[in-house]
Amino acid sequence: MTTTKHGFAKLGDSNYGIWHAQMRSLLQTKGLETALEDAEDPDSSKALGLITLAVEDYLVPSIGTQKTLPQHGRRCATSITSEATPKC
């Protein structure tokens, strides 16, 4: 498993719980946590970029090529922030 430049393991098949907590903390330190919940947040694309860089390469196509979290869809944003297993 590879790590992010922020020092935590990228999201893979078996580490969602710890990745979720660390990803949420990273987004909070960057002031981006509301971008996951607010479709109008101008920082949504920044949050999506950080999330995309924090997943293993084989999961990147699941995130897609959208520019913002709201464009990617509420299901994925909800999955990343609250579910036990991502369903993007």
For the cut 60, the answer to whether the pLDDT of residue 33 exceeds it is yes
Least confident of 14-18, 57-61, 64-68: 64-68
Instruction: Give dist(CA 18, CA 8) in Å, integer.
Output: 9
Q: Model-level pTM greater than 0.85?
A: no
Per-residue pLDDT averaged across 16-44, rounded?
87
Residue reference for tokens 């790590």: 3
pLDDT score for 1: 73
For the cut 50, the answer to whether the pLDDT of residue 77 exceeds it is no
For the cut 60, the answer to whether the pLDDT of residue 28 exceeds it is yes
